[in-house]
């Protein structure tokens, strides 16, 4: 059972790291690049990226992370690794509420609204549309990134606690 807990713990850290990295990349490169571009190009590019993100590569990290974290927690608890189990379960709740639910409730509706927008030909109108989307979207993205980073940290702590306990069972 310990090996199962350790294996799911490693997988949980991998999943949490993948989703944190995905959100983080939007902060430090993607959105800055789009903000520096012609807003008509930025709108079209964001519409294309939002349409393409719904895929089989992204889905496991986005949807699977809370389940893998929770599973690592349950297996840890089954091995009497209470601190590790609590850390993995806290990581699952942190991501589920602050990363996944925030995305579903805030960022996705904003993305859908932008997807339905016609790109203005006028540069000033396009700039206004882009700013009205980009500024709040980025604020919420930073928030979900912080929660996802905290989830990754909690998962890493859980893994360390799981590995340090001398009462491992096979």
In three-state secondary structure terms, 147 is: helix
pLDDT in tens, 50-91: 999 989 999 999 999 999 999 999 999 999 999 999 999 999
Contact between 161 and 33 (Cβ < 8 Å):
no
**% pLDDT > 90, the chain:** 91
Q: Where are the domains of the chain?
A: 2-164
CA proximity to 95, closest of 29, 18, 26 = 18
Query: If you count them, how many residues does the chain have?
Result: 170
Token look-up 């991501």 returns 95
Contact between 18 and 66 (Cβ < 8 Å):
no
pLDDT in tens, 100-136: 999 999 999 999 999 999 999 999 999 999 999 999 9
């Amino acid at each position: 059972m310990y090996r199962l807990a350790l294996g799911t713990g490693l997988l949980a850290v991998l999943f949490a790291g993948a989703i944190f990295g995905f959100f983080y990349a939007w902060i430090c490169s993607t959105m800055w690049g789009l903000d520096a571009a012609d807003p008509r190009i930025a709108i079209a590019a964001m519409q294309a990226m939002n349409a393409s993100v719904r895929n089989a590569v992204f889905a496991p990290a986005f949807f699977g992370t809370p389940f893998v974290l929770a599973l690592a927690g349950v297996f840890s608890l089954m091995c009497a690794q209470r601190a590790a189990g609590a850390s993995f379960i806290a990581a699952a709740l942190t991501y589920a509420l602050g990363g996944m639910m925030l995305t579903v409730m805030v960022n996705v509706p904003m993305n859908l609204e932008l997807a339905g927008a016609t790109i203005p030909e006028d540069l000033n109108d396009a700039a206004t549309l882009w700013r009205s989307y980009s500024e709040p979207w980025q604020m919420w993205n930073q928030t979900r990134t912080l929660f996802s980073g905290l989830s990754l940290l909690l998962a890493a702590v859980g893994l360390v606690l799981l590995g340090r306990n001398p009462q491992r069972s096979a």
